[in-house]
């Protein structure tokens, strides 16, 4: 039988996969035939639960703890993936932090943590898998940025987060040039998505966000996962260095 699964037998590492957008991406990839490496830093219980869920549905999952901001952790993450599966076809740099603070209220510690996880983590993970993908003659890297990184009015008050997500877009475009034509590197810029990361929004703030959004609601993690699936599949082989905005129209330029 010919499988219609878009990621049949592909190996995908999804960082920060225990919760939110990462969890939705890992589940979607597994349902499309991928062997999924569920990376987490703190969400062990959620990650193990996700792995069991995937296995119960007939899929394959490996759980690996690693702080993506630490080079040795990243090396171990990729090593465990290679030891288990022998290849890496897809990397989703999803792990991220958001510490609510305007510029004058932010601290150097907040800045360092945000840049280290959101931007440095994407750099380290991409560098670690790049040589593997180049040897395989194909690979897909997908970076999760944000509409905040597109220099729009959306949440520009959160300086460290905005800077990190703008950096992810710059990193995406640079990697697309440096790793082409073998590896496709693209980014997704979500709008406000229904995850723990936006739980600090007041009801009043959320009402404003919904009012500013043409589709009049916030997004679902599964809607980001759908975009990630497209970029991970062969259907996107002629797309690289691009940013797909999934925001319900909020923040259009």
Per the residue annotation, which of 40, 123, 161, 238 is the catalytic one? 161
Specify whether the CB–CB gap between 14 and 35 falls below 8 A: no
User: Known catalytic residue: 161?
Assistant: yes
183: which strand partners? 139
Q: How many domains would you assign to the chain?
A: 1
Q: Is residue 98 part of a domain?
A: yes
**Confidence (pTM):** 0.95
Domain hosting residue 56, numbered range: 11-246
Q: Rounded distance, CA 162 to CA 98, Å?
A: 10
At 196 the pLDDT is: 85
List, in order, residues 6 or more apart from 123 with CB less than 8 Å away: 171
At 1 the pLDDT is: 39
At 198 the pLDDT is: 82
Q: What is the pLDDT of residues 5-15, one digit of tens each?
A: 999 999 999 99
Q: Is residue 65 part of a domain?
A: yes
pLDDT above 70: percentage of residues in the chain:
96
CATH code of residue 141: 3.40.50.720
Q: Is residue 174 part of a domain?
A: yes
Q: Is residue 60 part of a domain?
A: yes
Closest CA to 195 of 66, 124, 94: 94
Query: 7: burial class by Cβ within 10 Å (0-12, 13-18, 19+)?
Result: buried
């Amino acid at each position: 039988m010919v499988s219609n699964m878009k990621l049949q037998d592909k190996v995908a590492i999804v960082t920060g996969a225990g919760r939110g957008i990462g969890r939705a991406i890992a589940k979607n990839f597994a349902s499309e035939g991928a062997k999924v490496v569920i990376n987490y830093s703190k969400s062990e219980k959620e990650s193990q639960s996700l792995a069991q869920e995937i296995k119960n549905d007939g899929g394959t999952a490996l759980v690996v703890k690693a702080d993506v901001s630490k080079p040795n952790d990243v090396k171990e993450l990729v090593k465990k993936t290679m030891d288990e599966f022998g290849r890496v076809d897809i990397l989703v740099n999803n792990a991220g932090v958001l510490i609510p603070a305007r510029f004058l209220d932010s601290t150097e510690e907040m800045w360092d943590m945000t840049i280290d996880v959101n931007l440095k983590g994407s750099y380290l993970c991409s560098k670690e898998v790049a040589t593997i993908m180049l040897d395989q003659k194909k690979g897909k890297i997908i970076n999760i940025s944000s509409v905040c990184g597109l220099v729009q009015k959306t949440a520009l008050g959160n300086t460290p987060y905005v800077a990190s997500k703008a950096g992810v877009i710059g990193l995406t475009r640079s990697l697309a040039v440096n790793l082409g034509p073998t590896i496709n590197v693209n980014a997704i810029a979500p709008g406000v998505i229904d995850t723990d990361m936006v739980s600090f929004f007041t009801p009043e703030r959320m009402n404003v966000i919904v009012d500013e959004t043409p589709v009049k609601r916030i997004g679902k993690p599964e809607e980001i996962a759908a975009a990630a699936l497209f970029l991970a599949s062969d259907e996107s082989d002629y797309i690289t260095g691009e940013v797909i905005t999934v925001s319900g129209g909020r923040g259009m330029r």
